[in-house]
């Protein structure tokens, strides 16, 4: 009996031990989740849906948290938002072993019915043209403002393959041109496919590998979108292709008039591609003209002359920050835009184009196609960094790299038709919106007659200037187009060897709006008109070596500015009896509205 009791006890202990060694639970998998509408006006009724499964059990509960204190335990609930706001929606799914999965990338934007964007007395929720730009909201890719395309250059780098300069002048003069045209569709001679996928899921990664393989073997033009970031666009394609909610999936491929969303669909997809090789296929178009026909290709040049900018002294083989941009007013009902950026070197009155296109097409220009619906672009480059050396061209090429960006921004601060200069002619029809006698086509800031303000924010006078007393007097003057403008009158006492916040500013100086670059000089003197050296780049003790010279780019808008620090002690010219007096300033140069 003792033996049997021992065996029975051992069996019970073993059973308990083994039960604690069961396989680890796998959490539920959310294949697809979303909402039928993600923006609208109060009261906004939204239907949510989810497609989920549990690999080793059953799903025991759902919990939707709608972001406005509302919750639901249904799998596919509906919820009505009564108040405006931006609401982040969270879904929590729990299985029968208490494993869980969470998704929180659904955002619902609810607007008030009281909003009247264009001030026409008609609330946005019943107004067919919210921004009063003459384009119905259903066809307007920027329904709440007049859109502009902002093309910016952040930095440039001329690579060593450019003409070898002398050691004393290792720099170049360069300039850029930017031109733009609009398209009504993305037609081309390749086979276009639209691919949506969620990179978090393994099955989507497999689909991505298959689409990449097809892209290598066939003349495809594949536009790839991340579902969590572009869910609203995916819903537009679902609606255009009449895809039922039951067929929503973790990835989606739209080609021609067909929809593919399963791994085994790739056999059908490749077969269709083979039949299209000789004639190509345009991108599926979700905006149609009358009678549902796809609109014909159209090209409209909307920038003449093209955007232009110039820099001198650009170093060879070293990054050079430029912070330049150009705004193009665009038609809000156009989705696709062709952008061309060209870079040139100017040397001894000769001009030679630099290669910023990393593709092997024999063209040095950067040609890209911008999609206003998604904010993304395709073509010679897709990520905002392009280098001419990527094409492995010949040693005779002159290569360069640029960092750039393209965004959709608001062109006007006020909606609807405006009359900036009050001359009775709407800006849309006025060739000189700000009445500064410079035509808008040549005016870098067409909505305002602008000027420049020079400010000194902080100052330091070095201790070797005067021992006793421990202060000096400072007078600051800015020169713009040879005209002296006081920043601070003489008589301001500044203590020696101490950083002092001063916040001095000049009066605005009107400048020609058709000139992008303006030369500004800043001079500091004491009460006896002895100059302080604030130019740390020039060791000479004359005015050129002590005065700070700034090449200021006006920019394309009121409020553009640059900040900097100038330190005269950096030229290693010691303050001897016959030397100079050094100072350091922190300064700001700003573009301002002379009328405001």
- Is pLDDT of 369 > 50? yes
| pLDDT score of 78 | 94
| pLDDT score of 261 | 93
- Is pLDDT of 95 > 90? no
Q: Which residue has the tokens 């290792």?
A: 170
Other beta carbons within 10 Å of 463? 13
Beta carbons of 555 and 445 less than 8 angstroms apart: yes
Q: Which residue has the tokens 């009564």?
A: 82
Which of 212-216, 494-498, 513-517 is modeled with the greatest confidence? Answer: 212-216
Alpha carbons within 13 angstroms on the beta-carbon side of residue 50 total 27
| Architecture of the domain delimited by 147-182+301-410 | Sandwich (2.60)
| pLDDT score of 468 | 55
Share of the chain above pLDDT 70, in %: 78
Beta carbons of 332 and 140 less than 8 angstroms apart: yes
| pLDDT score of 360 | 67
Beta carbons of 302 and 182 less than 8 angstroms apart: yes
- Both tokens of 435, joined, read 């009445």
Residue 491 gets the label, from left (phi > 0), alpha (psi -120 to 50) or beta, of: left
- Is pLDDT of 143 > 60? yes
Residue 256 gets the label, from left (phi > 0), alpha (psi -120 to 50) or beta, of: left
Stated as kind and residue range, the H or E segment containing 6 is: helix 2-19
> What is the C-alpha separation between 63 and 240, in angstroms, rounded?
31
For the domain spanning 29-111, the CATH number is 2.60.40.10
E-only strand ranges, 84-219: 85-95, 100-111, 147-158, 171-183, 191-197
| pLDDT score of 252 | 93
Name the residue among 166, 169, 161, 180 with its Cα closest to residue 355.
Answer: 161
Which of 80-84, 151-155, 377-381 is modeled with the greatest confidence? Answer: 80-84
| Architecture of the domain delimited by 191-292 | 3-Layer(aba) Sandwich (3.40)
Decide whether 147-182+301-410 matches 191-292 in CATH topology.
no
- Is pLDDT of 554 > 70? yes
Beta carbons of 251 and 206 less than 8 angstroms apart: no
- Both tokens of 203, joined, read 């099955």
pLDDT tens-digit profile of 434-487? Answer: 888 887 767 778 888 889 999 888 898 886 545 556 788 888 888 887 778 888
Beta carbons of 116 and 401 less than 8 angstroms apart: no
Name the residue among 70, 67, 51 with its Cα closest to residue 59.
Answer: 51
| pLDDT score of 27 | 84
| pLDDT score of 475 | 84
Mean pLDDT for all residues in the chain: 77
- The domain segmentation of the chain, as residue ranges, is 29-111, 147-182+301-410, 191-292, 450-593
Name the residue among 39, 53, 54 with its Cα closest to residue 85.
Answer: 39
CATH 2.60.40.150 describes domain 450-593: yes
What confidence tier does 295 reach under pLDDT thresholds 50, 70, 90? very low
- Is pLDDT of 501 > 50? yes
Mean pLDDT of 396-423: 73
- Is pLDDT of 12 > 70? no
Beta carbons of 198 and 204 less than 8 angstroms apart: yes
The model's pTM is 0.43
- Is pLDDT of 305 > 50? no
Q: Go through 121-137 and write b for each residue having 16 or more CB atoms within 10 A of its CB, e for each that does not.
A: eebbbebebbbbbebeb
Mean pLDDT of 305-321: 65
pLDDT tens-digit profile of 190-231? Answer: 788 899 998 888 889 899 999 988 988 888 888 888 887 777
- Is pLDDT of 370 > 80? yes
- Is pLDDT of 340 > 90? no
């Amino acid at each position: 009996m003792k033996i049997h009791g021992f065996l029975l006890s051992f069996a019970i202990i073993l059973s308990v031990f083994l039960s604690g060694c069961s396989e680890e639970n796998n959490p539920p998998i959310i294949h697809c989740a979303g909402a039928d509408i993600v923006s609208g006006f109060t009261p906004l009724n939204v239907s949510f849906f989810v497609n989920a499964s549990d690999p080793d059990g059953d799903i025991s509960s759902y919990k939707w948290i709608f972001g406005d204190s509302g919750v639901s335990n249904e799998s596919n609930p509906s919820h009505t938002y009564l108040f405006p706001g931006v609401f982040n929606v969270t879904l929590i799914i729990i299985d029968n072993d208490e494993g869980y999965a969470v998704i929180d990338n659904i955002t619902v934007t609810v607007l008030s019915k009281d909003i009247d964007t264009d001030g026409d007395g008609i609330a946005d929720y019943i107004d067919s043209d919210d921004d009063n730009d003459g384009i119905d909201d259903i066809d307007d890719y920027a329904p709440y403002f007049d859109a502009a395309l902002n093309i910016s250059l952040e930095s440039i780098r001329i690579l060593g393959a450019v003409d070898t300069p002398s050691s004393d002048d290792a720099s170049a003069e360069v300039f850029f041109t930017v031109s733009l045209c609009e398209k009504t569709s993305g037609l081309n001679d390749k086979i276009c496919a639209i691919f949506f996928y969620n990179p978090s899921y393994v099955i989507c990664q497999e689909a991505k590998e298959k689409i990449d393989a097809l892209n290598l073997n066939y003349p495809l033009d594949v536009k790839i979108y991340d579902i969590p970031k572009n869910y609203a666009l995916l819903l537009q394609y679902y609606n255009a292709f009449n895809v039922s909610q039951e067929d929503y999936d973790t990835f989606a491929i739209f080609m021609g008039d067909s929809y593919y969303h399963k791994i085994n669909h790739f056999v059908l997809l490749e077969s269709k591609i083979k039949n299209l090789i000789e004639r190509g296929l345009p991108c599926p178009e979700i905006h149609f003209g009358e009678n549902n026909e796809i609109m014909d290709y159209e090209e409209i040049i909307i920038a003449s002359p093209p955007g232009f900018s110039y820099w001198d002294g650009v170093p060879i083989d070293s990054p050079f920050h430029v912070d330049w941009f150009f705004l193009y007013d665009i038609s809000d009902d156009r989705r696709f835009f062709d952008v061309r950026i060209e870079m040139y070197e100017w040397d001894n009155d000769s001009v030679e184009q630099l290669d910023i296109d990393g593709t092997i097409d024999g063209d040095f220009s950067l040609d890209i196609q911008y999609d206003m619906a998604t904010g993304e672009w395709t073509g010679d480059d897709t990520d905002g960094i392009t280098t001419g050396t990527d094409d492995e061209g010949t040693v005779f090429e002159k290569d360069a790299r640029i960092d750039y960006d393209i965004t959709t921004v608001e062109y006007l601060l006020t909606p609807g038709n405006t009359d900036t200069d009050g001359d009775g002619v709407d800006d849309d029809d006025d060739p000189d919106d700000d009445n500064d006698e410079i035509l808008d086509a040549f005016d870098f800031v067409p909505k305002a007659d602008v000027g420049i303000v020079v400010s000194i924010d902080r100052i330091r006078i070095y201790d070797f200037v005067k021992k006793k007393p421990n202060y000096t007097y400072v007078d600051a003057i800015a020169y713009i187009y040879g005209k002296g403008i006081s920043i601070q009158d003489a008589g301001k006492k500044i203590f020696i060897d101490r950083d002092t916040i001063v916040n001095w500013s000049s009066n605005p100086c009107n400048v020609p709006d058709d000139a992008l670059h303006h030369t500004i000089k800043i001079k500091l003197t004491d009460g006896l008109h002895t100059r302080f050296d604030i130019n740390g780049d020039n060791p000479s003790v004359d005015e050129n070596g002590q005065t700070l010279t700034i090449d200021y780019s006006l920019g394309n808008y009121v409020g553009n500015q640059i900040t900097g620090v100038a330190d005269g002690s950096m030229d290693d010219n010691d303050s001897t009896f016959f030397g100079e007096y050094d100072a350091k300033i922190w300064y700001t140069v700003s573009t301002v509205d002379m009328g405001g």
